[in-house]
Structure 1
């Protein structure tokens, strides 16, 4: 406890509570801060959960303030510890485990919970909500075991859950009580367009349907609806609304209605106790969206810091749907009445829709579908009740350039207006960052302030602010480096390494003038890769520049254990290998052995200290399930067993996997080999897909079955196995030499163009020969990472000594 500092206790480690803390720290240094969080995680971006669910991001990707941030700012964090009540007489916050922390002021930011409908069967296994990381984990686990899912609720959260589960391969049906989706945000035309788009993506809908029972034994097996029909489902997601978490307030004698009652300065009925976010009820309204939480937090931060502030008078709510391939936005009023003038633009060909509502010539609401470029600007105009003008009309409808209107709007925007609602970043903060730190790009603004780092809806306004501040110095195509540490791009860095003979990451950063001498988690692995690619025979891999999963040849899990995936060439194993896997799983108490999508076995739940012994006793090569390299070569049984097979796909798959394993690449790479065009090994969605036919082989490249799904392009046809191996090697090497770090081949093909790649690896025989020579040279110097660890006590001790820190970074 610091002398003369007030003790501030924050109950809730989410976006509202920590967002308020961040604002307080900018205004005052007069508080010793303690935070209680019910979840065992640092503060993360809850609005990005849909991306975690669909697999495009991990928990680490959405963490807003890592463990080090709390320590760096002197904040005591009690993670995984819920609060029971506030003891006003003793002026202490009391946790459920009995921990007591004295306070001078308290902020309650406990958020909300999903409403679990009171229907029979609600307590069965397989029924989950969708509000936190734990819910995501349960849904992802279920998707790996079951086929059918039902989502109860067709609102924002329900649709995000449905899309995520569909991306995980489940058959998903949304059951919704109302006659249209997102009825609280969308009018009829926009809702119909949304439903049609989601149906095209494989999601089914039962509208005007009421669930009366969840049936099954211990686990749910389906839903019974009010009309007597049934819907089979082994996973049911409740997304029928949220309920403010008020238990702490109720247990402390604080006034509660639907939420914790607060005034215009976020004060509760108990002295020195405040509430902010989804748990609070202000003027009869509980807000379930992010932007109002930051607006509340900004007022509370100023008030609690003794800074003069305007009261919080409520928020104009806006919604942006955050699911792949679907852009929807709504702000303010969206259903027109006799008092409204309506501006509508609907394009069935491009599947776009725009509606703007005016009342007394003031903009009071808007709905966008398909094209949401004007979302941030419309949100601001609705919030301010801006008057419609000819210039503004031209800007919003495309009837004119609208440049002057946008410039005037930015000039008129007050500095304290929030531009990025997801992260609470104001115009003033962006302007100051540009002026004080010489920022010239949206990427630099994102890295410095956090604006645009979540949903990205504010990016157009951020760019307009950048344009306004820089004036004639603004360049739309401002030079962007690989990260904020440098203005140099990938090709420039590689060229300079070659030209100057640079030999280490530190040397590269020093000689090439890195803004931060130590680099960052984005550029260090990239430089390490470039050096390995350029100097495979002489460069010594820098383990400290690799991600923790790569350093340990295993994937870290949320409970701190690891998954180990031994390699099975072409998906084929032997009884001896299976016996070793089983023996190791039993001996080291492995929690589960899972068959992966890449035709291998994943040993889940290995303790960190057991990893060397596990690998040693398996005596199998690492499957590189963690690495930026060849992951798997999936095969069908081919001509060896299948009556349709025309080529020996198993043998070819094993040959390719053995040849190219362990080679470092810009990103993970997956291959598949089919013995015939029936495509049982799914070559069409692999980075390199090979299809056998009577005349030889077809080679496809650039496929992706993940979040950014893409069918592979036919590169060429070959007649012999030797041609196939040669061209695959040339493709991989060309990708190594021209791909951006972390760029999948699906993006690489679209960036370079199929014709350019074909010209280099197929048409130009001499260039293909040179590429093959370079990859063969590099292959001479690759080895399984565990060989050194198993035989080098110093390396093993150094790596495992760093593991506790590495797992958090």
Structure 2
């Protein structure tokens, strides 16, 4: 898509399609700017106002109440003079007339339109995936259905050993604890859990911890099919090696696919996601896309950090404020499983010119591995004690030469920062007024 500057005219009526975390964050950002659009309408397909999807895992585990997930009540939108339409799905966009139509027959005009339609769960091409008892884990409805399944006990199989799969499996295990109990098996097709974020050592530590809690973990597992019982519901998962796992409940958690259906129907440019430029503008200058549904320079999004940066850029754009546009930046990963601390960023495997620093304390269950190139940190994996993770990430983003504190890097942020400060104070290139 050719680079172009966004329109800077005043936006009279902004319509945001999607009341998820991205759409809601945009609303909050616009309200913080005096140049906000004169009229804002938000349409959400779910019947509940925006909620924090990140907390679905502790909700499933029974560690949190439903009310704690709500970001803002419906009354709050009204108080901010924002029209909130819930329980309606946008079915069509007329780009020439700048109108849209919902499945309830409602027609709305817009000056600017933001698509924050999120994503759909990815589904593997496996026979039996359509059987009753097979679930995904993306919204409140899914969390409620899984909580009910866990309360019935029996056996569950979770497909996917990434972030979402681990959170779903542990949530089911904790929710299923009790008189009935639920045995949870986790299938990961790679040789390790969280293979995109963790090296082998950290992944094995994580696997050992989860096995100790009672999860049945299968790595290098190729799912061949799901089987139905006499009642027509799923009853088992069969692997390529012949292993058969009982399954009263199956959860598919192998990733997400951008929800581009509405954009495609409107003939906007799409590939894997809705293609946007640096200002989150689609091939139609009056339409933007944001969050998990969009694609920028071939990149898709499933973590909040880049999406929050997109929100700030788009909010400035919609308010007519100058902006340099959205720029890709590294992100860090944390696991949201109670009692397990993980922090990782950068490459999972070292390259030939990487210097590898590692530390492991088996008794405390702590592990750290740092990847440096030319004295600059490019990647880190922390398991157990992750307190220094944000400091490592900050140094990596800033490209700080850490040679002066190399000997203390594995000790943590405080010790390393002392050596860095000492080196700065001794530097002959510091400003003369500081030298005095």
Instruction: Answer yes or no: same fold by TM over 0.5.
Output: yes
What corresponds to 2:98 in structure 1?
A: 91
Partner of 1:346: 360
Contact 1:316 1:382 in 2 (8 A): no
User: What is the 5 A alignment of 1:447-526?
Assistant: none
Which residue pairs with 2:379 in the alignment?
A: 365
Q: Does 1:278 align with 2:285?
A: no
Question: Structure 1, unaligned stretches of length 5 or more?
Answer: 409-809
Matches of 2:97 and 2:297, distance apart in 1: 30
Whether 1:260 aligns to 2:274 is yes
Tell whether the 8 Å contact from 1:112 to 1:279 is kept in structure 2 after alignment. yes
Aligned residue among 127, 137, 146 for 1:130: 137
Shift of 1:14: 0.9
Pairing partner for 1:40 from 9, 26, 47: 47
- Aligned-pair CA distance for 1:75: 1.0
Q: CA deviation at 1:334?
A: 2.5
Q: CA offset at residue 96 of structure 1?
A: 2.1
Residue 195 of structure 1 corresponds to which residue in structure 2? 207
Larger Rg: 1
1:308 maps to 2:322 = yes
CA displacement 1:273-293 (0-9 Å, x = unmatched): 011101111110101111111
Question: What does residue range 405-804 of structure 1 map to in structure 2 within 5 Å?
Answer: none
Change (3 A) 1:298 1:214: same
Q: CA deviation at 1:332?
A: 1.9
1:211 aligns with 2:223: yes
Q: Secondary structure of the equivalent of 1:200? A: helix
Distance 2:279 2:294 in 1: 12
| TM-score with structure 2 setting the length | 0.89
Once the two structures are TM-superposed, the CA of residue 405 in structure 1 deviates from its matched residue by 7.2
Could you tell me which residue of structure 2 aligns to residue 385 of structure 1?
Answer: 399
**Deviation at residue 51 of structure 1 after TM alignment:** 0.7
- RCO higher in structure (CA 8 A, sep ≥6): 2
Q: Determine the C-alpha separation between the residues in 2 that align with 1:382 and 1:16.
A: 26
**How much is the aligned-residue C-alpha RMSD, in angstroms?**
1.9
Deviations 1:29-62 (A, max 9, x none): 3331111111111111111110100011122111
* Counterpart position of 1:180: 192
User: Conserved in 2, the CA contact under 8 Å of 1:268 and 1:275?
Assistant: yes
SS of the aligned residue for 1:48 comes to helix
In structure 2, the CA distance between the partners of 1:280 and 1:406, relative to structure 1 (3 Å rule), is farther
Q: CA deviation at 1:317?
A: 2.2
Residues 398 and 314 of structure 1: CA distance in aligned 2, closer, same or farther (over 3 Å): closer
Question: By percentage of residues, which structure has more strand?
Answer: 2
Give, in whole Å, the separation in 1 of the partners of 2:407 and 2:115.
43
Deviation at 1:357, TM superposition (A): 1.2
| Corresponding residue SS for 2:400 | coil
How many residues were matched structurally?
405
Given that 1:7 and 1:105 are in contact with CA atoms closer than 8 Å, whether structure 2 keeps it comes out as yes
1:302–1:225 CA distance, 2 compared to 1 (3 A): same
* CA drift at 1:117: 1.8
Alignment of 1:227-242 (within 5 A): 227-242=241-256
User: Which of the numbers 19, 23, 34 marks the counterpart of 2:25?
Assistant: 19
Distance 1:51 1:258, change over 3 A: same
* Post-superposition CA distance 1:691-719 (Å, at most 9, x none): xxxxxxxxxxxxxxxxxxxxxxxxxxxxx
From 231, 234, 240, the counterpart of 1:226: 240
1:81 aligned counterpart, secondary structure = coil
Cα deviation, 1:330-360, whole Å, max 9, x if unaligned, reads 1122211112112211111111111121122
Q: Given the alignment of the two structures, is residue 332 of structure 1 paired with residue 338 of structure 2, yes or no? A: no
